[in-house]
Amino acid sequence: MIRINLIPPEYIERINRKALIAKVVLACIVVVGAVVLASAWHITREKAIESRLAAKQLQLQGLQKDVDRVKDIEAQIAEVQRYLDSINRINKGRFLYTGLMADLVSDMPSTLWLTSVNTSQAGDKLKVDLAVNSNSAYDLAYWINSLETSGPYSEVTVGGISVSDADDGNKRFNTQISVKYAGR
């Protein structure tokens, strides 16, 4: 079969040129449309992020008042704590000697008496040297045991015990006792 093209080549060339122009225009429209859609998506995303940022900033401003209040309260607590610490530092040694005397005599038997009490600071404790007289060996042993086992005393050392005759005919026991007193 023989084909004869009766359409002039200029006409086909014009149709092909129009088709090419239509394809280029369509491609440009597609590219421009894609750019417009991408730009619109980015713009809406930016607006959404900005609105969330504004909402978060408002929320932060509302919470900032609470944070400031908490900081003020913490500053007040710190000030009160410094005040209490200074009072405790002042009071720490203030009642140490009265507490020592009260603790010493609280469970001292009536047959014992102190002839001297010497104190000196030993770190955060009070070193106490006692000269003790007693009319009863049992009461002296009881009191020494009480010192060794009670809470505020530590490092109880007992010197030599001397026995002498008293004016009333009884025996008198003399000793030196050293303790460290921590206070209550």
Q: Which neighbouring-strand residues pair with 174?
A: 133, 162
Q: What is the pLDDT of residue 85?
A: 92
Q: How many residues does the chain have?
A: 184
Using a cut of 0.85, tell me whether the model's pTM lies above it.
Answer: no
Amino acid at 56: K
| pLDDT tens string 56-75 | 999 988 899 899 999 999 99
| pLDDT tens string 105-152 | 888 888 899 999 999 887 778 899 999 999 988 999 999 998 888 778
Annotate 44-77 with b (16+ C-beta within 10 A) or e (fewer).
eeeeeeeeeeeeeeeeeeeeeeeeeeeeeeeeee
How far, in Å, CA of 118 to CA of 97, rounded?
Answer: 11
The pairing of strands 171-181 and 153-158 is antiparallel
